[in-house]
Structure 1
Amino acid sequence: MDNKQNVGAPDRDRINVNEDYELQYWSEALCVSRDELRNAVKEAGTSAEKVKAYLNK
């Protein structure tokens, strides 16, 4: 489970699609649907940078 008190760099660098608030935040931040974000994380992993790179292909 995601520790909402731990909001330092490691937490911001990872995308947890199992947490609704993160799914909402990242889908809006990256201008993609929640399903597109889930698929990108499935393909690229949880690293925010890798997901961004995957979506920019």
Structure 2
Amino acid sequence: MISVMKLHHRYHKKHPLGIGAPKEVANACIFLLSDASRYVTGNNLVIDSGYSTQ
């Protein structure tokens, strides 16, 4: 059986910025709904705490 510490280490190794909060996604939504994003078109905004950089 895998220990909790090993699982914790394995998770954080894949997610360099750690566990995100709902606020992280909410901030991205607020940005996309604001005028600051008016020139953002046809892109994916990835919010995965660095997982996709591997």
Q: TM-score, normalised by structure 1?
A: 0.26
Q: Which has the larger radius of gyration?
A: 2
Higher helix share: 1
